[in-house]
């Protein structure tokens, strides 16, 4: 008589590189702090900008306080990604320049110094952001990744809520300089936690040469492109030798960069990742979402403080509807994707909502209520929640493990590139329409736009105050006209994404299977 079968004792649930659910949560505690730092510092400055610009007297450099940070982050993300592949993320992740840049920003004495030190900060932030996304990709297979990544993407809106709130509170009660100093104690905790929790990650292949020539060319053509969008039509005419020279430098730098990357054994940006259609489309959505999000968040506090009369702290609170919507939708979408494995519809819906939200902001005027603005922000935030983590998930599902760090760096690079161009282009449009409105009214001498602060605005006569508020409103509405046009392109891009089933294990556990070869369910 056969003995009854004894049920096997279930093994502990593990995913990816053998990490259990509990180990993943412990490891992610350090990653959450790191992502929070990188994202928090980008947003904490927004409510302080009106005071910073007035204190350091530099409206013409307003966009560069944000652009320098994002541009530096954009340039180095592919570099950090490649370094992580070669030398392992534990060592690379904790070696950023973020804390040094934070301390220097707090000590800035003029706008030139602040912009330069923001760039140093951005160099470090690039390592934090691409490191977090790459480490999650190494630890967790795509099918399980979305629920963890949804939580991580929710850190972004938490930082976006906390950033303006902390920045506003500090500006109102201490000094804008503490908006940078506050990173130092948080950063010290993050470095210790990450060093301890990342010990199980692979140490990398090591030994390969770094593509320094490609890195230099990447920095040249990106910087030139951002300078074109920042200076063209404002500081210099479009037909001036300065702008034409930058256009030539951008084209030449891009062509040289592509040639170098095609021939280098270990390229900083492996061009083979662009052969995958879904990767390219996901990158396009990342670019557009970065353009829309930072263009909106970066300049809405100007409208809230100068036109709606909010304090720096309250302008941070007024951004909460958008950030809460991002957080809720991102987590919800992540859970649904993990349960169903279906993701194609979410970037389409997200792109539609982002476009609608951006367009609604083109209708604001001096009398628009905070309630109406909050409704517009909820629509915009819900759209961003449907896009942000989905685009990263699609991109990573299209990569082989050997390219996971570099490919994630490329995906992050595209989002940051959109942010850089969005901030610079929309910032230039905002400043141009603001100053043009005042100039047309013949009040350039009586309304000092370059040194205007909310406190100084309240001291102006009512006629001059109303004129400046109208000028700010004109700048904001024109900014969102162009932003909504760019966001509409995201709908077209999202429609062409194909559904490729999410892998149930990380690529290193199934080297013979690539995303393109998996049949659709």
Least confident of 136-150, 221-235, 374-388, 412-426: 136-150
Element (DSSP H or E) covering residue 15: strand 14-15
Three-state SS at 19: strand
**112-143 exposure pattern, b = at least 16 Cβ within 10 A, e = fewer:** eebbbbbbbbbbbbbbbbbbbbbbbbbbbbbb
Q: Are residues 259 and 285 in the same domain?
A: no
Of 228, 263, 298, the domain-final residue: 263
Q: What pLDDT score was predicted for residue 16?
A: 47
Q: What integer pLDDT is reported at residue 356 of this predicted model?
A: 93
Cα–Cα nearest to 28, from 144, 185, 120, 123: 144
Together in a domain, 99 and 240? no
Q: 7 lies in a domain?
A: no
Helix (H, G, I), strand (E, B) or coil at 513: coil
Domain annotation covers residue 199: yes
pLDDT in tens, 295-305: 666 778 788 88
Does 510 score more than 60 pLDDT? no
Q: 479, 296 in Cβ contact below 8 A? A: no
**Could you tell me which residues come within 8 angstroms of residue 340 by beta carbon, excluding any fewer than 6 positions away?**
none
pLDDT above 70: residue 313: no
Mean of per-residue pLDDT scores for the chain:
75
Tell me which of 248 and 293 has the higher pLDDT.
248
The interaxial angle of helices 62-87 and 49-56, nearest 10 deg, is 110
Instruction: Report the first-to-last Cα separation within the chain, whole angstroms.
Output: 43
Task: Take residue 182 and report the two structure tokens written for it.
Answer: 């506050």
Q: From 462, 441, 459, select the one nearest 451 (Cα to Cα).
A: 459
Q: How many helices and strands in the chain, by DSSP H and E?
A: 19, 2
Question: Does one domain contain both 187 and 273?
Answer: yes
Out of 263, 283, 301, a domain closes at: 263
Domain for residue 123, yes or no? yes
**444-455 pLDDT, tens digit each:** 555 556 566 677
For 59-73, how does the pLDDT look when each residue is reduced to its tens digit (9 = 90+)?
A: 666 667 777 887 787
> For 223-263, what is each residue's pLDDT tens digit?
888 778 777 766 778 788 888 999 999 999 999 999 988 88
Whether 219 and 268 share a structural domain: no
Q: Give the pLDDT score at 208.
A: 56
Q: Is the pLDDT of residue 205 over 70?
A: no
Query: If you average pLDDT over residues 366-383, what whole number do you get?
Result: 88
Rounded to whole angstroms, how far apart are CA atoms 502 and 393? Answer: 9
Under the banding of pLDDT at 50, 70 and 90, the label for residue 460 is: confident
Q: What is the mean pLDDT of residues 176-202?
A: 74
**Based on the domain organization, do 122 and 136 belong to the same domain?**
yes
pLDDT value at position 353?
93
Q: Write down which residue in 225, 240, 263 finishes a domain.
A: 263
Question: Residue 482: inside a domain, yes or no?
Answer: yes
Are 47 and 91 found together in one domain? yes
Q: What are phi and psi of 97, to 5 degrees?
A: -100, 15
Total domain count for the chain? Answer: 2
What pLDDT band is residue 503 in, cutting at 50, 70 and 90? low
Confidence bin at 204 (pLDDT 50/70/90)? low
For position 252, what pLDDT does the model report?
A: 93
**Considering all CA atoms of the chain, what is the largest pairwise distance in Å, rounded to the nearest integer?**
103
**With bands split at pLDDT 50, 70 and 90, how would you rate the model's confidence at 11?**
very low
Is the pLDDT confidence value at 18 over 60? no
Weakest mean pLDDT among 386-390, 474-478, 516-520: 516-520
Cα 364 from chain centroid?
25
Q: Give the DSSP H/E element, type plus range, for residue 14.
A: strand 14-15
What is the pLDDT, as a whole number, of residue 515?
Answer: 39
What does 68-136 look like in DSSP terms, one character per residue? HHHHHHHHHHHHHHHHHHHH-HHHHHT--SHHHHHHHHHT--SHHHHHHHHHHHHHHHHHHHHHHHHHH
In a domain, 217, yes or no: yes
Give start and end residues of each alpha helix (H) in 307-369: 312-318, 320-340, 345-360
Report the pLDDT value the prediction gives residue 355, as an integer from 0 to 100.
92
Q: Which domain holds residue 278?
A: 17-211+264-505
Together in a domain, 316 and 226 = no
CA distance 415 to 391: 10
Helix (H) or strand (E) holding 143: helix 142-173
Q: Answer yes or no: is 12 within a domain.
A: no
pTM of the model: 0.68
- Clarify whether residues 247 and 283 are in a common domain: no
- 199 against 478, higher pLDDT: 478
Q: How many CA atoms lie within 13 A of 228 on its CB side?
A: 18
Q: Which two tokens stand for residue 39?
A: 């994202």
Is 381 within the bounds of a domain?
Answer: yes
Tell me: do 156 and 173 sit in the same domain. yes
**Per-range mean pLDDT, top range of 228-232, 384-388, 412-416:** 384-388
Is 9 a member of any domain? no
* Co-location of 206 and 220 in the same domain: no
Mean pLDDT along residues 91-106: 75
Q: With bands split at pLDDT 50, 70 and 90, how would you rate the model's confidence at 145?
A: low
CA-CA distances (angstroms) from residue 373 to 202, 358, 440?
Answer: 47, 11, 28
How far apart are the C-alpha atoms of 131 and 32, rounded to whole Å? 11
Among 44-48, 221-225, 456-460, 493-497, the least confident range: 44-48
Residues 84 and 222 occupy one common structural domain? no
Does residue 222 share a domain with residue 151?
no
pLDDT tens by residue, 330-372: 878 878 887 887 888 888 999 999 999 989 999 988 888 888 9
Distance from C-alpha of 419 to C-alpha of 294, rounded to nearest angstrom:
6
- Burial of 90: CB neighbours in 10 Å, binned 0-12, 13-18, 19+: buried
**What's the whole-number mean pLDDT along residues 476-493?**
88
Q: Distance between CA 199 and CA 192 in Å, rounded?
A: 12
Which comes out higher in pLDDT, residue 521 or 113?
113
């Amino acid at each position: 008589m056969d003995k009854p079968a004894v049920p096997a004792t279930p093994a502990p649930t593990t995913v990816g590189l053998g990490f259990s659910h509990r180990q993943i949560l412990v490891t992610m505690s350090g990653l959450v702090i790191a992502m929070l730092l990188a994202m928090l510092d980008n947003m904490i400055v927004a409510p302080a900008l009106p005071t910073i610009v007035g204190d350091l007297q530099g409206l013409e450099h307003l966009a560069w306080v944000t652009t320098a940070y994002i541009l530096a982050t954009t340039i180095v993300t592919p570099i950090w990604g490649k370094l992580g592949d070669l030398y392992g993320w534990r060592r690379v992740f904790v070696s950023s320049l973020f804390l040094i840049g934070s301390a220097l920003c707090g000590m800035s004495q003029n706008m030139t110094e602040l912009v330069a030190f923001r760039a140093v900060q951005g160099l470090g932030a690039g390592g934090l952001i691409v490191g977090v996304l790459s480490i999650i990709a190494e630890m967790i297979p795509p099918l399980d990744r979305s629920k963890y990544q949804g939580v991580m993407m929710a850190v972004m809106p938490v930082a976006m809520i906390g950033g303006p709130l902390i920045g506003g509170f500090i500006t109102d009660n201490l000094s804008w300089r503490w908006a940078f100093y506050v990173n130092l104690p948080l950063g010290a905790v993050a470095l210790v936690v990450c060093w301890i929790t990342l010990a199980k990650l692979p140490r990398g292949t090591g030994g390969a040469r770094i593509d320094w020539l490609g890195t230099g060319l990447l920095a040249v053509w990106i910087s030139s492109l951002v300078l074109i969008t920042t200076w063209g039509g404002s500081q210099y005419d479009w037909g001036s030798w300065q702008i034409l020279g930058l256009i030539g430098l951008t084209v030449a730098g891009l062509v040289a960069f592509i040639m170098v990357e095609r021939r280098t054994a270990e390229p900083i940006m492996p061009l083979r990742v662009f052969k995958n259609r879904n990767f390219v489309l996901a990158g396009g959505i990342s670019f557009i979402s970065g353009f829309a999000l930072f263009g909106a968040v970066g300049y809405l506090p100007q409208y809230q403080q100068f036109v709606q009369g909010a304090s720096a702290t309250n302008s941070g609170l007024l951004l909460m509807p958008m950030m809460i919507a991002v957080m809720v939708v991102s987590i919800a979408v992540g859970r649904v994707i993990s349960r169903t494995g279906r993701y194609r519809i979410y970037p389409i819906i997200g792109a539609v909502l982002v476009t609608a939200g951006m367009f609604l902001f083109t209708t604001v005027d001096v009398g628009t209520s905070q309630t109406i603005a909050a409704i517009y922000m909820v629509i915009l935030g819900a759209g961003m929640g449907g896009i942000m983590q989905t685009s990263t998930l699609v991109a990573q599902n299209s990569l082989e493990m050997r390219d996971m760090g570099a490919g994630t760096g490329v995906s992050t690079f595209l989002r940051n590139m959109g942010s850089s161009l969005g901030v610079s282009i929309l910032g230039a449009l905002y400043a141009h329409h603001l100053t043009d409105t005042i100039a047309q009214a013949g009040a350039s001498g009586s309304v000092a736009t370059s040194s205007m602060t909310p406190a100084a605005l309240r001291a102006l006569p009512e006629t001059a105050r109303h004129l400046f508020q109208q000028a700010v409103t004109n700048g904001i509405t024109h900014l969102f006209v162009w932003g909504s046009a760019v966001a509409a392109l995201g709908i077209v891009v999202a429609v062409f994404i194909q559904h490729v089933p999410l892998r149930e294990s990380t690529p290193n556990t199934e080297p013979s299977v690539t995303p393109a070869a998996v049949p659709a369910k």
